[in-house]
Amino acid sequence: MTKTKRVIVTIIISIVLLLVLFLVMDQILVGKVYFHEIQGEVLREVVTLECPGYNVGTGIQGSHNRKLVTTFGLVCGQKNSNFAGGLSYIGFGPDKCSDHLSGLNLYYNKLGQMNRVTKICGNQKVGKDSSAKTLECDSGKAIKIMDVEMDQNQFIYNIAAIQCSKIPKPGCNIKIPNLDPIVLPMKESDCESVFLANKYNGGEDFYLLLNSLFPKNQELINHEEQIIQNKEGLDRLPNIKGISVYYLSPKLIKQDFSELIDKIEFSNICETINFFGVPLFCFNRIDYIGKTYKDNLKIIIPYFSLLKSASSLYQVNNLLFNEKHFAYDFIVNNKISFWDGSKHNAYGETKEETKCGGGAGNYQDKKNRVYLCNNTFKVNFPTVKDKVSYATIMYHEANHKFPGSIHEYNRQCKKTKNLNIAGDKGLKSVYGAHLNLLLTMSKDEHLPCKYRKMAWKQTQFQIKNKFCNKPGIKHNYQEPICISDELFVIGDEIIFID
């Protein structure tokens, strides 16, 4: 071969090698992974993007350099996620869904690096591209978290995974561990009462209250067992265990009621705590002038919870007021407050002013309040008997609002001022209203058997001990019968004969 030919061949080979090297380098530069791509070793950093708080994805945003995605982030309603990537080039978005971000379409170049991403929206999967790789959430859920892989140059290499969350709804959220929240449509003040009911009730009573508030809520019905089991044992240990309650505002701002806990457990003054519209004054724990007063909400919240649960199906036929009403609503509508009479020193009153003698409580008309006395707080953990007894006592005391509704008859139906032997003459009385509530509870198939049978048992006690004309106390209720935890009551509409 002549020298000239050798030179030409060398030049041609050099050109070919340069072309090959150029092509390889071009691909490497596009992939932004340099020589590790040739060796099959891609160095990638994973960045987790998360919609903060209770927000979920509603869209996407970021930037590109016409070949690769250079930055990427989630649009999340009230507050967006952080960004993955390095320098921002040509921006895109915020590209928002009309409802929620339910998935992503991912597109890749020949080197397997993502070079385009588009949104999939809503339960109908609007925007889904069958030709793309897709990451999708189940119906009713939206993207909450995603893992984004970046190459050595901080360009987006891939979206490796997404985590989906149930779309948050404003309202009262009942969060069972490892399950999506059950959202109840109620205002914040009522959700605060649900929070208290969760704190101080066992699982069965807590579920009973929720079910009485929303008897047709299928989510509650489906999760009855989980609600009860996650609070198992709380009839003996009143404390939050497993289930949490919080409120989400229309702007998805969380209220976890931490300020309420501070008022209950760490105050040095009497606080007013409202429970479904009933003001409860000075039942909180108090450190007052070197003395600690205990938290008595743990005693009375179970009583008010049962009364509220028993005030959703059947109205009480109250002959004293000549009206039918739900027992709990009667207290709320008459704006009656309840005060802890055992802590009278903490709010500057005397025992004489509270009139707390040997009874459970008393109503004072001029103040429109009921003082609950020491007898109410003798128990540590209320029993079934305690709950039925004191739930009806709360209603009993409220009925003393009726003018002249004092107990003034002895066993011979003669007027007496001796409160130790005093009762009522007929059903048009406070004890008549009390008895009517007990009989109504005994019929209420919404209540568990143990409460219905206890209510019936106490009606017999009331008739025997609190009325002087026992033969005149007539009704057509009959004792509830429990068969395999199911209750059957014989009798139709209840009619009192006075």
Task: Print pLDDT tens along the chain (498 aa).
Answer: 566 666 565 666 666 555 544 444 433 333 233 323 333 445 689 999 999 988 899 999 999 999 999 999 999 988 899 999 988 899 999 999 999 999 999 999 999 999 999 999 999 999 999 999 999 999 999 999 999 999 988 999 999 999 999 888 899 999 998 888 999 999 999 999 999 999 999 999 999 999 999 999 999 999 999 999 877 544 434 444 489 999 999 888 889 999 999 999 999 999 999 999 999 999 999 987 788 999 999 999 999 999 999 999 999 999 988 999 999 999 999 999 999 999 999 999 999 999 997 789 999 988 899 999 999 999 888 999 999 999 999 999 999 998 778 888 877 888 887 767 778 888 889 999 999 999 999 999 999 999 999 999 999 999 988 888 776 677 778 888 865 344 444 443 333 332
Q: Helix, strand, or coil here: 282?
A: coil
* pTM for the predicted model, two decimal places: 0.77
Task: Kindly report whether the peptide bond that precedes residue 471 is cis, defined as omega within 30 degrees of 0.
Answer: no
Task: Return the CA Rg of the chain.
Answer: 35
Task: Kindly report whether the peptide bond that precedes residue 94 is cis, defined as omega within 30 degrees of 0.
Answer: yes
| CATH 2.100.10.30 holds for 45-166 | yes
Q: What's the CA gap between 309 and 274, in Å, rounded?
A: 17
Q: What's the CA gap between 443 and 489, in Å, rounded?
A: 6
Task: Decide: 85 and 154 in contact? Cβ < 8 Å.
Answer: yes
Task: Decide: 56 and 76 in contact? Cβ < 8 Å.
Answer: yes
Structural domain boundaries of the chain?
A: 45-166, 169-256, 257-488
